[in-house]
Amino acid sequence: MNRPTTRPSARPLVIAHRGSSASAPENTLAAFEAALRAGADLLELDVRLDGDGVPVVLHDETLDRTTDRCGAVAELPGPVVRAADAGSWFSPAFAGQRVPTLQQVVDLVALHGTGGLLVEFKGAWTPAAVAGAVATLRTAGVAGRSVVQSFEVETVRTLRDVAPDVRRALLVLHPGARAAAQDVAASFGDLAHDPFTALSTPAGQTLAAAQEVVAELGVVAVNPHVAGLVASPHVVAEYHAAGVATYPWTVDEPRLWVDLLRHRVDGIITDDPGRLRGFLQAREVRSSQDEALEERAELTLAATRQGAPAARLTPA
């Protein structure tokens, strides 16, 4: 399968949710810079169009939650959107952070030289708008280390048609049967009411659903809410059997990281990429030490059986 990036030492990719949003205001250049410095493999970001048709990086439909201004992004001129303070709500230290354009984020990644993008296209996009956004990735030379995704099947279909060479993923809430976009909000309601029942998936359902979207959309990954994997861990193997990777979202608890590693997910989307990266590196060091001790123990046992003096078992 053509994976989005090569996983170092087979560890899962560290994917920074809206940048390093645990340490800086989400979807700002400060958050993306922090994530790159923390060693994130991919920056996850949300893209929508402002009133001038320019792709900007913002999760919500409005400016209300994460800036000092109000109003629907799609109805506001670009200069108004980019003049909003997108940092003070998080901390006075980030006052003056702005809503970045997709171009600004892409330029940051290109300048940094490492890391890629996991770009979520929010809502429905026309072919012309998709072409413009993808051209931004291509011109900066980061399209080859990026993945584009959406909850909207029609948007993923448009991405497939406009840019078939750029790798695509489908976002889902539930890892089983595919729900229409308008059902996602209702599914979140079901999740809050009864998370285990709402996201449990019968054996075989994920495999069938994933095979369907692979055939239809040519995706390389299907990315569900982490609760779906907690409720039904077998779905990871079913994704792999269908030939796709899976990057659950959004996972900030080490106890869940352990479970996801056990089931061999391909990436973990987290608000705290630095902490996840450190957690994975610590496990790699521990694994190397354990392997060295096991090797010394085997050599000692072999030498003892042959009558040679036993070597002392001390770490290398």
Partnered with residue 148 across adjacent β-strands are 119, 168
Please give the Cα distance from 203 to 182 (Å, whole number). Answer: 25
Half-sphere exposure of 290 (CA within 13 A, CB side): 6
Kindly list the distances between the CA atom of residue 297 and the CA atoms of 35, 178, 301, 306, in Å, as whole numbers in the listed order: 40, 51, 6, 14
pLDDT(315) > 50: no
Please give the Cα distance from 121 to 290 (Å, whole number). Answer: 43
Question: Can you read off the two tokens belonging to residue 113?
Answer: 């030289």
Question: At which residue do the structure tokens 């489908």 appear?
Answer: 170
Q: Which CATH number fits domain 12-275: 3.20.20.190, 1.10.3210.50, 3.30.559.10, 1.20.1250.20?
A: 3.20.20.190
pLDDT-derived band at 311, boundaries 50, 70, 90? very low
Q: What is the pLDDT of residues 108-159, one digit of tens each?
A: 999 999 899 999 999 889 999 999 999 999 999 999 999 999 999 999 999 9
- In this structure, are residues 236 and 229 in contact, taking their beta carbons and an 8 Å threshold? yes
CB atoms within 10 A of CB 283: 14
Q: What is the pLDDT of residues 247-295, one digit of tens each?
A: 999 999 999 999 999 999 999 999 999 999 999 999 987 655 555 555 6
Q: What is the pLDDT of residues 191-218, one digit of tens each?
A: 656 655 667 899 999 999 999 999 999 9
pLDDT-derived band at 174, boundaries 50, 70, 90? confident
pLDDT reported for residue 199:
73
